[in-house]
A and B are shown apart, each in its own frame.
Chain A
């Protein structure tokens, strides 16, 4: 061979040496880690990391005395890890668990197709009956890859306050997209307290990463548990509800449409929040949930609607106290002010009818007898004959005072889905009548709580609380303590001042006392307890008027403020006032002695069911 030898010819042997050195070095290293050292062999027994998610128990919901309203009970889901499934007796599995074998096969095929789903647990059957689970466990060794997972569902031991407590259900896609905490199949609060306190009730999911060998045997925690997250149990909630009072209210409202809201004036705690017709909350938990929900949704009486927060009524005569208080604050009314009533208010072509009562009345008497004429005259004086430049300016002041009672807006509290009611604006009347072309007479129905004013039952109860407190109220709220009964849920316990001076409340309170003692609601009288109340009738263009009553008691030391609305039941004194008084008696004395009245209410069916 004729090869040119260059000066550096010898350096080729460096490469030979280099290759031999590398061969030896790599060989030694490979020998060391592959043959001599068995640490890596042990580590490799592990073939997968399985994430085990621990769903903590959801917090229990109790009433103000600790009575359980919502508790958990175990249900069993059948889980499967598709990769671990070995050929098994499909028919036997389907027979034990009452499953469709086509479904099982398709489910497993679907899981196998996805590399993530293949190695993770999927729910193949939900909420299996305990006897099926028992049988399955017996034969479990024949179904490798299948597991039973315990999960908790909600149960409502006394079945009250369905709307307030709310219910839970599987998360929907919207939530999954928005919040990475949830994975498909998780449960979340959908309405009521379950919804508004979801973050507190659910706790924090735990995550355990376990190493598994190829036989699926546990090989200890992944990274020594470094990435594990300890599950944190959900916190228990102590609601402001009085379970006994709530149950009694629901009983009284049976076969009637309407609602009852009872508050503790000194705190804003909601003692009872009754909406009727209601339903057994247990219907919306468990396997039949979807079916039951559908039935309730299609019910013409709309039992799913929470009337206590979402129904809006004209307050009727119960609004007279508000008007009187605003008028006093605007210097248009004093306790001694008298207007004479001839059975109606006449002004031009306008007539507002009153009813027979002694007259002329002073302020307290005007409440006692619920004189429409009195309020019409005074409303005109307040808006048209005041120190304000014009009706509109006076109306704006009136409106600001009215808003300070918590009207015309949603309480920023811990109950979802409340409505705001309505206190009309001057712009509204400007549009309706033309700017500057309306006077007190144009909007005279506001004087007696009709017209454009709308209030929700909880707002009506709050008016009673404002009067009981002589000028302030606490945000009505539903959860008293989180986690521990002695803690205080201060976040929702806010105090609000109205714009009315406390001394203006004296004649109002006298009037309300006399309503029950010798006025329009004598059937609300409770021996030994001074009840202050006021009837109302909400005009209903679609049918019979609604019967309204607001009250608080005892007068000297108010402990309960209440609003009762019975739809299509006529005057306030027929149905609303006795129901309110029974509630007050029950709450203050623990029992009801007026059995005849109680029986009349319990046995009346205003609707056919």
Chain B
């Protein structure tokens, strides 16, 4: 009897990478503790109280574990062939939510069934990564071909467009996270560097002025030509590249001033001011920025102690247990606690990359990088937002933010990889 149980146990968890599981469990646990802390302890009766958000979150966590177990039980070989179908189904659900969804805060992102609400966009992230991994695992896959590049872009563009229609900018933007994965598998690196350079130039344009940026471009081009002692043809190429960049900067400037709605523009301006160290418009648009910085900043070295946070309880911070859950960690556990969570996330990411590199299956390898890219993007943007480094984009902190949809989606995302990893010696697709 005893040995039998042990055998079964071993069966489910054989070859499992406990490091990823434990890191996942740490994040989920600290997440729930933080949700509990932002909740109302004065009416506390028990942690399963489904009228309270911590009670609901506990239910979501239990269900997420059930889902994780199911994934561990299922045959990993069925995943790659099913990828396109899952992708198709999720896109259909994104269409359906536009028609049958419930409108919350002027965006149709939710399926409401009784007391439960599902956000298909969260699951669409998983589906998109699956589809990309499936497509990219083909033997003749070559990202330097234009057609391949266009197809990959198309796989992202479809759900992106559908999510933008809701509209939910945050959930849509994260679909571009897999550019990191593409980079690993052969994307011409200048796409990445070019995008980063342009982003930097745009930020500089907003922080200082268009003329500074134009001057910077001209000087860079001139220096490059001089230092590299460029030949005539190369020089012309660099000059035209510089000119194109200048045109792009002007186009961006024009778009920013004429193309954006006032509130979008102000939001970006507040973010830029914040980067320059100014707490601007803390009453309206800058409110979240400021209040979350106050909450985290008041934590000090070791924090105020669990449940002793004040900022995250008084409704100073909107979405304090969803998008701004990191504030609670920062306030109650201080610098030490914050760095612990940051480290756990980065360790998890590193572990995923590490495991992805040893996969035999091309699909698992690519998929692993997809998981890491999505988690990385969410983590950096979300934490960056709470400490004023990135703009306020409404995306959750994986495994920690309150909400069933995102918890399940990220759990499914990770456990599909864990399961693939368990079977890395078996030759799959």
Contact = CB atoms under 8 A, between A and B. Distances in A.
B287 to A, nearest CB: 10
A506 B329 CA distance: 94
Interface in B293-342: 293-301, 310-311, 314, 330-331, 334-335, 338-339, 342
B42 A34 contact: no
Contacts of A91: none
A35 B357 CA distance: 38
Contacts of A31: 335
Interface residues of A, number: 41
Given A11-B183, A30-B339, A40 B42 contact: no
Given A7-B186, A29-B387, A113-B43, A41 B343 contact: no
Given A12-B353, A35-B301, A39-B297, A30 B330 contact: yes
Given A3-B358, A15-B353, A113-B43, A41 B298 contact: yes
A282 to B, nearest CB: 44
B350 A16 contact: yes
A34 B180 contact: no
Given A3-B360, A40-B293, A12 B298 contact: no
Contact of B296 (A7, A30, A115): A30
A41 B300 contact: yes
Interface stretch (A19-27, A292-300, A381-389, A520-528): A19-27
B189 to A, nearest CB: 8
Interface string B150-186: 0000000000000000000000000000001001111
Nearest to B373: A15
Interface in B353-370: 353, 357-358, 360, 362
A27 to B, nearest CB: 6
A442 interface: no
A47 B334 CA distance: 18
B372 interface: yes
Nearest to B301: A35
A44 B388 CA distance: 17
A9 to B, nearest CB: 8
A40 B316 CA distance: 14
A532 B96 CA distance: 87
Contact of A48 (B42, B314, B380, B384): B314
A556 B120 CA distance: 91
A172 B401 CA distance: 43
A487 interface: no
A347 interface: no
A214 B308 CA distance: 11
A34 B314 contact: no
A602 interface: no
A40 B298 contact: yes
Contacts of A40: 293-294, 296-298
B184 A223 contact: no
A27 B297 contact: no
B145 to A, nearest CB: 14
B191 to A, nearest CB: 13
Contacts of B185: 6, 8
Report which residue of B183, B184, B283 has the largest number of chain A beta carbons within 10 angstroms of its beta carbon: B184
A34 B301 contact: yes
Nearest to B331: A44
B15 interface: no
Given A15-B184, A23-B346, A214-B310, A44 B358 contact: no
Nearest to A223: B283
Contacts of B342: 23, 26-27, 30
A352 interface: no
Nearest to A213: B310
Contact of A8 (B43, B186, B335, B360): B186
Contacts of A337: none
Nearest to A222: B283
A40 B331 CA distance: 11
A30 B335 contact: yes
B335 A35 contact: yes
A19 B349 contact: yes
B12 interface: no
A118 B315 CA distance: 13
Nearest to A83: B42
Contacts of B184: 8, 11-12, 14-15
Contacts of A11: 183-184
A33 B295 contact: no
B186 A26 contact: no
B314 A26 contact: no
A219 to B, nearest CB: 12
A542 interface: no
A53 B222 CA distance: 65
Contacts of A113: 43
Contact of B350 (A6, A14, A19, A39): A19
Nearest to B380: A22
B387 A33 contact: yes
B221 interface: no
A112 interface: yes
A37 interface: yes
Contacts of B283: 223, 226-227
Contacts of B376: 18-19, 22
B428 interface: no
Contact of B297 (A16, A25, A34, A214): A34
Given A30-B335, A40-B297, 4 more contacts: A2-B360, A11-B183, A34-B301, A112-B42
29 contacts: A4-B362, A8-B184, A11-B183, A12-B184, A16-B350, A18-B376, A19-B350, A19-B376, A22-B376, A23-B343, A26-B342, A29-B387, A31-B335, A33-B297, A34-B297, A34-B334, A35-B300, A37-B297, A40-B296, A40-B298, A41-B297, A41-B298, A41-B300, A44-B298, A47-B314, A112-B42, A113-B43, A223-B283, A226-B283
Closest 4 pairs (CB-CB, A-B): A40-B297, A44-B298, A33-B297, A47-B310
Interface of B: 40, 42-43, 180, 183-186, 282-283, 293-301, 310-311, 314, 330-331, 334-335, 338-339, 342-343, 346, 349-350, 353, 357-358, 360, 362, 372, 376, 380, 383-384, 387-389
